[in-house]
Amino acid sequence: LYHTRFGVHLLATGGQAESAGALGIRTNRVKIAAYTISGLCAGIAAILLVARIGSAEPQINTSLLLNSVAAVVLGGVSLFGGRASILGPAIGALMLTALVNGLTLLNVSAFYQPLAVGAIVVLAALIMRYQK
């Protein structure tokens, strides 16, 4: 993100949109581009999920939302803006997968696994908040 013009504009807009606008960055265009890329990635992920499962349903797996946020937070991306990397969320996804697999191996009920993931997300967010 730090090596491309769009990446720097994205970080600036996410960190402080008003200041980025004062510097001449077209924040509305950056936001539209970010949402467009996000929607495209979500669409591709949905196609892959439907191809894997063989059916489509709106509530197919709501835990995917928690897992995606958890992977990003565990990867060190600040929920409060201004700090991000591409490699961090990938490492966060690996850590989250290891956590969920470990909980499964320890025979923790599937009912309580999202609770553990949520607690770790809150803990990671608090740690990031106090590091800032």
What pLDDT digit, counting tens, does each position of 50-70 carry? 888 887 777 766 767 888 888
Q: 78 and 55: one domain?
A: no
Which among 19, 44, 59 is the end of a domain?
Answer: 59
Q: 110 and 74: one domain?
A: yes
Helix ranges (H only) for 2-112 are 5-15, 17-22, 27-53, 63-74, 87-105
Q: What is the DSSP letter of 23?
A: T
**Dihedral, 23, 27, 30, 31 alpha carbons, nearest 10:** 150
Q: Is the pTM of this model over 0.85?
A: no
Q: 55 and 68: one domain?
A: no
Q: What is the identity of the amino acid at 71?
A: A
* pLDDT for the residue 107: 92
Give the number of domains in the chain: 2
Which domain does 86 fall in, by range?
Answer: 61-132
Secondary structure of residue 85 in the 3-state scheme: coil
- Rounded CA-CA distance 32/42 in Å is 15
Q: 17 and 38: one domain?
A: yes
Q: 31 and 9: one domain?
A: yes
One digit per residue, the tens of pLDDT, for the chain of length 132 reads: 678 888 888 888 887 788 888 888 888 999 999 999 999 998 998 899 888 888 777 776 676 788 888 888 888 877 666 566 778 888 989 999 999 899 999 999 988 988 998 898 888 888 877 876
